[in-house]
Amino acid sequence: MNKPKFETPNLTAENVAKIAELFPGVVTEGKVNFDLLRSMLGDEVYGDEAYEFTWVGKRAAIAEAGRPIRKTLRPCVEESKDWDMTENLYIEGDNLDVLKLLQESYLGKVKMVYIDPPYNTGSDSFVYNDDNGMDAEEYDDGIDAYDDEGNINFRANLKTNPRFHSGWCSMIYSRLVLTRNLLSKDGVIFISIDDGEVAQLRKLCDEVFGEENFIAIISRVAKTTSFRGNYFAPSKDYLLCFAKSIYDLPGFSDEVDSSQFKKIETVGERKGEYYRDDIAFYLSTLETRPNQRYFIECPDGEKVIPPGTTFPPEKPVDGDGVWRWSLDNFELKKHLIVFKESTRSPLINEQGKPARWNLYTKSYLSDKQESGNLPRDLFDKFLNRNGSEDLKRLDIPFDFPKPVNLIKHLLKILNDEKDGIILDFFSGSATTAHAVMQLNAEDGGKRKFIMVQLPEVCADGTKAAKAGYKNICEIGKERIRRAGDKIKAEAGLTALNLDIGFRVLKLDDTNMKDVYYAAGDYTQDMIALMESNIKPDRTDLDLLYGCLLDWGLPLSMPHTHEKIDGFTIHTYNDGDLIACFEERISEKAIREIASRKPLRAVFRDSSFNSSPEKINVFEIFKLLAPNTNVRVI
């Protein structure tokens, strides 16, 4: 029986292992011989100079992303909603540590990430880890990271700081590296940002996600009434959009305005369907579309081409009109052409004179709804004040929330199957959770959310503090409760199975004592004096979720507990894992667990008095459940 490691993956070591697999000779004793690697790659590949984006602290940020931690997520049932039924998660803690803990359980499983990180305006407060070689405790002491009560001290990153941009880049970089691992092959990330760091963020994302996976920088009109500013009144911000793999990402599609389809087909197979006419040509901005400029024969035999100053049509120039379709496409779709006689037609006939006909293309509402519109990269319907109005309706105090409809719009254009995992690790007031529940109620989706938020203390005198909220996490959880109840009540019978719950998990130090990780540092006499290598304040549920993280199991599946021969047995997701954390356990109970053939089984080390007892457990599983992975903690 082996032991869980209860430590996040060492991503740096894993990357070294991948290099060793490709080039076995360049890795010795865990170290990479970069000179040898360079020789094997060849100078023409490796090169001496290349474009790169760097800043003070970049190496430390890269190292931080790969550095393992010994922490865990502790369940908090009393602050959760519908614990037994929900598949949503609300996680409290530093998002860098949380992202590390989620690496195995949610590797490649997240459909969409939306984050609204600090914009680094010079007044934003955040803590970043650029330790410059100091260990974590030394660094925390050096920057006064915690107050006397153990709460994180938030400090403004003032523009007078000589490392103003560097600090922000270090903070966001390591989190993006970890986020990429969580995205599914067809996953996508949206990041809100403003003018201050949009250039740096684009370069960071190019490096982390790959420049080829860039999709768009979307401009969002944020406000229309403010005229404060120096030279211009700031009224917009941006959303950077990157794919995990552009080759696996389906196209986006927006809703179709059905009011534009007013005509009804009167003949043929599509009789009764709504359609509209679109002008059959548009003005070209390219000189390289000769295959979209050709003659079309009209009902009376007149042949026409799009408008323009160039004649003959075989040599179009920039600014000439072209048909909306290529010639091959026209042959396939010419049944959708509508000819209308016109005295003001912009088209030209074979003689270079104004034509007697104008051409339109039919587009049917049902076809358009199936394919959708291509979304525009300018959002003008999601103002900041809309986000404030969302919270005002719930009587929740919070400054500068994003509008629910903004996140809903991002979810809707994805063309997903309505059941993906949505992650927001700068959750704030939990707008993303609100949007997921709202859209699920509207379209019957089964999307699940994971919210991550640092429990930043609400400052004395703020509206939130006066309303009784101690930290931002309390605001987010209360918003989800109120929004969920409101959505379900308004949806009525159509939302009977709507998931408006969430499991609360809180970041904490590992469940295990130091002896668990370094048993070799302790003598047998010292170990004998210890009753357990598990911290005394940890519950069965704490240990269960620690095992889920270690085994890489999702944290939102159902689990039950029961008594077998007087011992409490926990079953997770119908047998993905069965655990017993009792100090002692009978052979009868062990045999019953083994007879259920779980995929995994875990027990306390102290459940067994001696090594022969442990060996007996292994033999029981070998006989009754040979495929079960058995561990002790």
Q: Same structural domain for residues 282 and 313?
A: yes
Q: Same structural domain for residues 426 and 288?
A: no
473 DSSP assignment: H
Give the integer Cα–Cα distance in Å for 217 and 201: 11
Has residue 326 been placed in a domain?
yes
pLDDT-derived band at 129, boundaries 50, 70, 90:
very low
Are the C-beta atoms of 577 and 602 separated by less than 8 Å? yes
Least confident of 113-117, 167-171, 401-405, 527-531: 527-531
Q: What is the pTM of this model?
A: 0.85
Q: What are phi and psi of 431, to 5 degrees?
A: -60, -40
Q: What is the pLDDT of residue 315?
A: 63
pLDDT-derived band at 371, boundaries 50, 70, 90:
confident
Has residue 5 been placed in a domain?
no
Burial 493-523 (b: 16+ CB within 10 A, else e): eebeebbbbbbbbbbbebbbeeebbeeeeee
The answer, yes or no, to whether residue 523 has pLDDT greater than 60, is no
The answer, yes or no, to whether residue 316 has pLDDT greater than 70, is no
Has residue 1 been placed in a domain?
no
Q: Which of 472, 507, 542 is the last residue of a domain?
A: 507
More confident residue, 20 or 591: 591
Mean pLDDT of 331-340: 92
Q: Same structural domain for residues 333 and 435?
A: no
Has residue 159 been placed in a domain?
yes
Give the integer Cα–Cα distance in Å for 386 and 384: 5
pLDDT-derived band at 143, boundaries 50, 70, 90:
very low
Give the total number of structural domains in the chain.
4
Q: Which of 363, 383, 414 is the last residue of a domain?
A: 363
Q: Which of 343, 363, 383 is the last residue of a domain?
A: 363
pLDDT-derived band at 370, boundaries 50, 70, 90:
confident
The answer, yes or no, to whether residue 309 has pLDDT greater than 70, is no
The answer, yes or no, to whether residue 134 has pLDDT greater than 70, is no
Predicted confidence (pLDDT) per residue in 604-630, tens digit: 988 887 888 888 999 999 999 999 999
Are the C-beta atoms of 194 and 119 separated by less than 8 Å? yes
Least confident of 271-275, 283-287, 394-398: 283-287
Mean pLDDT of 313-327: 76
Whole-number mean pLDDT of the chain? 88
Predicted confidence (pLDDT) per residue in 541-557, tens digit: 999 999 999 999 999 99
Helices (H), 102-212: 136-142, 164-182, 198-209
Q: What is the pLDDT of residue 345?
A: 93
pLDDT-derived band at 126, boundaries 50, 70, 90:
low
Has residue 453 been placed in a domain?
yes
The answer, yes or no, to whether residue 313 has pLDDT greater than 70, is no
Predicted confidence (pLDDT) per residue in 166-216, tens digit: 989 999 999 999 999 999 999 999 999 999 999 999 999 999 999 999 999
Q: What are phi and psi of 486, to 5 degrees?
A: -65, -45
Are the C-beta atoms of 337 and 321 separated by less than 8 Å? no
Predicted confidence (pLDDT) per residue in 456-467, tens digit: 999 999 999 999
Q: Same structural domain for residues 497 and 391?
A: yes
Predicted confidence (pLDDT) per residue in 412-428, tens digit: 999 878 999 999 999 99
Q: What is the pLDDT of residue 529?
A: 47
Give the integer Cα–Cα distance in Å for 632 and 551: 13
The residue type at 143: I
- Percentage of residues of the chain with pLDDT beyond 90: 64
Q: Same structural domain for residues 26 and 83?
A: no
The answer, yes or no, to whether residue 20 has pLDDT greater than 70, is yes
The answer, yes or no, to whether residue 269 has pLDDT greater than 50, is yes
Has residue 3 been placed in a domain?
no
The answer, yes or no, to whether residue 515 has pLDDT greater than 90, is no
Q: Same structural domain for residues 250 and 106?
A: yes
Q: What is the pLDDT of residue 29?
A: 79
Has residue 577 been placed in a domain?
yes
Mean pLDDT of 30-47: 75
- The residue range of the domain holding 588 is 515-632
pLDDT-derived band at 439, boundaries 50, 70, 90:
very high
Q: What is the pLDDT of residue 418?
A: 92
Give the integer Cα–Cα distance in Å for 276 and 78: 56
Q: What is the pLDDT of residue 128?
A: 45
